[in-house]
A and B are shown apart, each in its own frame.
Chain A
Amino acid sequence: MEAPPVTVLPVSGGTINMMEYLLQGSVLDQSLESLLHRLRGLCDNMEPDTFVDHEMVFLLKGQQGSPFILRARHSLDRPNAPWHLRYLGQPEVGDKSRHALVRNCVDVAVSHNLTEFLSEMGFRMDHEFVAKGHIFRKGALKVVVCKLYRLLLPGNTESTENLSLSNLVELSMLAPAGQDTVSDDMRNFAEQLKPLVHLEKIDPKRLM
């Protein structure tokens, strides 16, 4: 069959060009309680919410060297919730005037047969982990404090192993591209968590 001509198509639905602003840090287990306490005071006055998620990272290899990465995540404690498929673009950390790491991001809520579908598309799982922790919200700001676990058996989320004695702390916010002012809010919020946690923009390239 003749291959149909390739054209660039305008996006028919969805939110275009959303950016995720991100600050990261960690807190030791013994100081976790004080951090949670502080977050409860700083964030919106909601019932504290906990989560247990399983994230799988998938790669698609093209003929060019770098693979395409997609992250599939689903909630283990709320099995009825939709799966979350996520594309994250190249992080930008260079701009000094911006106080947070910025990356392009596409969030898709999908049905539960995602893994099957991704493998049909040619994706291959690279790694997976379980994240357990707390989630807070202050307006559009999201604060996630979680502990990471590695899976002892691939795909088996029952048997896991602690990854470190620290909890990952992520402060993130979604905004349309160009709204860099939100990073100021994030910095202000991060300041309030000092000296308990230092949230900073961490260039992942540095950690390779």
Chain B
Amino acid sequence: MSGGPAVRISIESACEKQVQEVALDGTEMYVQPLSMSQNLAKLAQRIDFGQGSGSEEEEEEGEVREKEWGKRDQDEDETTVKFQPSLWPWDSVRNNLRSALTEMCVLYDVLSVAKEKKYMTLDPVSQENIAVKTPQVLQLISKKKSLATAAQILLKGAEKLTKFVAENQENRRQRDFNSELLRLRSQWKLRKLGDKILGDLSYRSAGSLFPHHGTFEVIKNTDIDLDKKIPEDYCPLDVQIPSDLEGSAYIKVSIQKQAPDIGDLGTVNLFKKQAKIKIGAQPWHVKLETAQNVLLCKEIFAQLSREAVQIKSQIPHIVVKNQIISQPFPGLQLSISLCHSTGDKKNSKSSPEKTRPDDHLYVLEHNLHQLIRGFHKQTLSPALMPHPASAPFGHKRMRLAGPLAYDKAEIASLQQNEGLLEKIIKQAKHIFLRNRTARTIDSLASRIDDPQIQAHWSNINDVYESSVKVLITSQGYEQICKSIQLQLNIGVEQIRVVHRDGRVITLSHQEQELQDFLLSQMSQHQIHAVQQLAKVMGWHVLSFSNHVGLGLVESIGNASAITVASANGEYAISVRNGPESGCKVMVQFPRNQCKDLPKSDVIQDNKWNHLRGPYKEVHWSKMEGRNFVYKMELLMAALTPCP
């Protein structure tokens, strides 16, 4: 506030020096003329002081002073004329002070002189008391006025201050270390250690038991030239993270197929580019989040590695460097790897990686993160708190084991704690099984167009189970041929098939089993369709079998067969359909229509004409019609006599 504009020249000060030079007694001379000159300036309005009648009687000193006064007067006049008082910031202050000083001097002199009682004396007079008191109203008004003036000054000052502060803040908001620190404090755990500020980016407070200390240090970014223009991304606060948490990391889960027949499992790479840095986020925040992610990835991998070594499985899990390899199914390899890239190496690494197809299983990677968080949460579970409070820590249900005499099975169920690896392998198995089931159904559907196969997948799955509804239909006859509806529940190791009638069949993870099963179902469907059609056409079902015990042995499943007779019983159609051998359709004619049948001597009577004649095979492929059921309908129609 004191830094007002510098005043280069001041007439007064020059004048002052002059006074000092002239007057031998510095102080006295110096002050006196000032006060007197002021006084004189006022007196001059009333009295012609300049004549100085008594000046000759005065001593030299006085004369000098007198002259000085005159000079000062002139000087002062000059000052007021030539210079605006505002040029010297203290002008009005000084003038007022001077007049005050004059008054004080007069008071002093009067009092001193009166005390001597030579020239003046004090004489007591009695005065009425009323006059003593200034009227209250006057006091009020004057006080109000003074207060108003003071208030105005204060308000003005406050206004200036707020304006100044606001401006300053606007300028410094981005660059102020302390405000940055405040922001950091609101999002991260900080503590002061000596003269250092340390932060904690570990997941310990969320329940992690990973031994990494996860400490970062907050540093004030001072290596910037304040005179130069500050770069846009400059931040006065920087964080120093442990060297092993630098760079970025992610967990990669992928399934590699050793045999090419297994369907492609890779999903589309949705996040090819690194996630964009949020606009407006502080550089330290981004840095800390990445470091925290590195730490979490490390923890996940450490946990998985530990489990991989501890868990015994038929095919042991292999932990090599930053990769864990496991075999969920024969010929299949699940690999979980920790990819940690530190800055510069990135470029050299990325080029070969691009060529490889992206086979991330993002769902599993995400689930791994979720699982480790679940692990963390467990360690902070309120069930660990003892009740009564004097008891030692331990899981609530474990404490009950003793007093309630839990048996081995109950204890095992308490202790059963599936590890991260087991869970993720199970999930991987399920994902694999689901994908392959989908592929099997799809390939069947594209390969075989009669009957048609449809799959309806449910959108919502469990991590270990999902289901699909498979319908086998014939085109154009969807309404009458609804025989085969299958619900496939895909689990971790196997697929459970639920028929519409409630039968349950369990299939293993082998692809061939599902394929064979579906083929046999499709073959059965055709026979079912004939049965349904017969009902609609008014034909009678003479025999029906899903599993025919005669004829060629099918390599997959069994052949099924049906025989239907026309309404008047003259004709009969027999169909045999096998998953492998395909369909064979025979028509039986009434005896009398068979011209080539040798007339038997035994069956002479006319009534025998109604006996069934021999079967003739229909050249099915030559039949007209776009699919099996349509052909069958045409055949039936042809064999039904016109009324």
Q: Interface of A with B (CB < 8 Å)?
A: 44-47, 49, 51, 53-55, 71, 73-75, 77-78, 81-84, 86, 107-112, 131, 133, 135, 137, 140, 142, 144, 146, 174
Contact = CB atoms under 8 A, between A and B. Distances in A.
Interface string B384-415: 11111111110010011011100000000000
Interface SS of chain A: helix, strand, loop or mixed? strand
Contact of B385 (A49, A108, A140): A49
Contacts of A45: 205-207, 380
B380 A131 contact: no
B382 interface: yes
A137 B389 contact: no
A96 B438 CA distance: 73
A131 to B, nearest CB: 7
Interface residues of B, number: 22
Contacts of A54: 388
Contacts of B387: 51, 53, 75, 77-78, 81
Nearest to B381: A46
B260 to A, nearest CB: 50
Interface SS of chain B: helix, strand, loop or mixed? loop
Identify the interface centre among B381, B390, B393: most chain A CB within 10 Å of its CB: B390
Given A82-B399, A82-B402, 17 more contacts: A44-B380, A46-B380, A46-B382, A46-B385, A47-B382, A49-B382, A49-B385, A73-B390, A73-B391, A74-B388, A81-B387, A81-B399, A83-B403, A84-B390, A86-B390, A135-B389, A137-B384
Contacts of A71: 390
Identify the interface centre among B380, B389, B402: most chain A CB within 10 Å of its CB: B389
Contacts of A49: 382, 385
A166 to B, nearest CB: 17
Contacts of A142: 386, 393
Interface in B426-464: none
Contacts of A83: 388, 403
Identify the interface centre among A53, A71, A112: most chain B CB within 10 Å of its CB: A53
Given A45-B380, A46-B380, A110 B403 contact: yes
A146 B388 CA distance: 12
Nearest to B402: A109
A108 B390 CA distance: 11
B207 A107 contact: no
Interface in B195-228: 205-207
Contact of B388 (A47, A75, A111, A174): A75
B380 A53 contact: no
Nearest to B401: A109
A137 B385 contact: yes
Contact of A140 (B207, B381, B386, B393): B393
Contacts of B384: 46, 137
A55 B390 contact: yes
Given A45-B205, A45-B206, A109 B380 contact: no
A49 B385 CA distance: 7
Given A46-B382, A137-B384, A144 B389 contact: yes
B385 to A, nearest CB: 4
B391 A107 contact: yes
A49 to B, nearest CB: 4
A135 B390 CA distance: 10
22 contacts: A44-B207, A46-B380, A46-B382, A46-B385, A47-B382, A53-B389, A55-B390, A71-B390, A75-B388, A81-B396, A81-B400, A82-B403, A83-B403, A84-B386, A107-B391, A107-B392, A109-B391, A110-B402, A135-B389, A137-B385, A140-B393, A142-B393
A135 B402 CA distance: 23
Contacts of B399: 81-82, 109
A109 B402 CA distance: 7
Contacts of B396: 81
The 8 closest A-B pairs by CB, nearest first: A82-B403, A53-B388, A75-B387, A73-B388, A111-B403, A49-B385, A81-B387, A84-B391
Nearest to A146: B389
Given A45-B207, A45-B380, A135 B386 contact: yes
B385 A174 contact: no
B276 to A, nearest CB: 31
Nearest to B209: A139
A70 B350 CA distance: 69
